């Protein structure tokens, strides 16, 4: 029962992240200058990916908690093995997503710094 509630919370976190990332991306799109397709490839895409990635990471962490609770309920070795594999896969996905977010965040900071100095337009 509790694990099912946490599953629902994880889905809500992921959906909230999609909505928030879309709204932030739209605001960045409206504020950006240039042709419509040029605006999509720059700061809009970076902002959307960063925001969505952070929310996905939070959702994955909530799902890992749910998997741990499922493993407490299901005590057969087969069930625990399957849940352990799922936790491992989600943990690797979280780690890789965290690396990608850090890379994009660093790239955005460098781009904004160069633009502030007048080296980039």
H-helix or E-strand spanning residue 68 = helix 45-73
pTM of the shown model:
0.71
Residue 56 tokens read as: 């996905």
Q: Whole-angstrom Cα distance, residue 104 to residue 99?
A: 9
Give the Cβ contact number of residue 34 at 10 Å.
10
What would the pLDDT profile of 91-109 be if each residue is shown by its tens digit?
Answer: 898 899 888 888 888 877 7
| pLDDT tens figures, 54-63 | 899 999 889 8
């Amino acid at each position: 029962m509790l694990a099912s509630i946490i599953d629902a919370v994880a889905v809500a976190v992921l959906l909230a992240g999609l909505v928030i990332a879309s709204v932030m991306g739209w605001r960045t799109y409206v504020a950006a200058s240039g042709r419509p397709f040029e605006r999509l490839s720059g700061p809009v895409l970076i902002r959307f990916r960063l925001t969505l990635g952070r929310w996905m990471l939070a959702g994955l962490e909530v799902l890992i908690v749910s998997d741990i609770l499922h493993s407490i309920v299901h005590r057969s070795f087969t069930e625990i093995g399957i849940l352990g594999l799922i936790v491992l896969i989600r943990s690797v996905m979280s780690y890789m997503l965290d690396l990608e977010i850090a890379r994009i965040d660093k790239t955005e900071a460098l781009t904004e710094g160069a633009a502030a100095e007048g080296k980039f337009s």
